[in-house]
Amino acid sequence: MKNLILAFAATCIALPALAEEKKLELTGNDQMQFSTKALEVTAGDTVVLTFKHIGKLPKAAMGHNFVLLKAGTAIPAFATKAMKATTTDYVPEDEESKKQVIAHTKLLGGGETETLTFTAPAEAGAYPFVCTFPGHFALMSGVLTVKAK
């Protein structure tokens, strides 16, 4: 019984140290707009992001994705590479680009939804997110702010 009480006490003490789960929702539409340009989480959170394409146009004409990049990524250069990544949902897979991507969804057409789970960066800061469908990054971009614990 004493061991059971000690195990329970240890579990109660450890629970606050576990990362929180943060649920976020983001939409993209046929006017090339995200529903928000600002998302916020705490460092180390388990992030569950639901991304919905609320438009009606098909993927080939108005596809959208969510690509979260490391702080300091040169967005125009990344987007230029992405335009050529037609077989990988416009997410470049060369070694340099892979190092810049924290998380991403597949390319969605009108009416489609994807839920993505990832761990928020451990370091507080501003992390850009973009849609990498050709020509969309200029309008469809935002920042995931990661707060320190």
* SS3 track for 114-141: EEEEEECCCCCEEEEEECCCCCCCCCCE
Beta-bridged to residue 24, according to DSSP, are 49
Q: Check if the beta carbon of residue 119 is closer than 8 Å to that of residue 20.
A: no
Choose among 123, 147, 148: nearest CA to 39. 147
Residue in the structure block whose two tokens are 């596809």: 63
Give CA–CA dist 16/38, Å, rounded. 26
Tokens standing for residue 40: 């916020």
Q: Whole-model pTM? A: 0.87
Total residue length of the chain: 149
Residue 44, pLDDT score: 98
Tokens standing for residue 86: 């037609």
Q: Which residues of the chain, if any, have pLDDT below 70?
A: 1-19
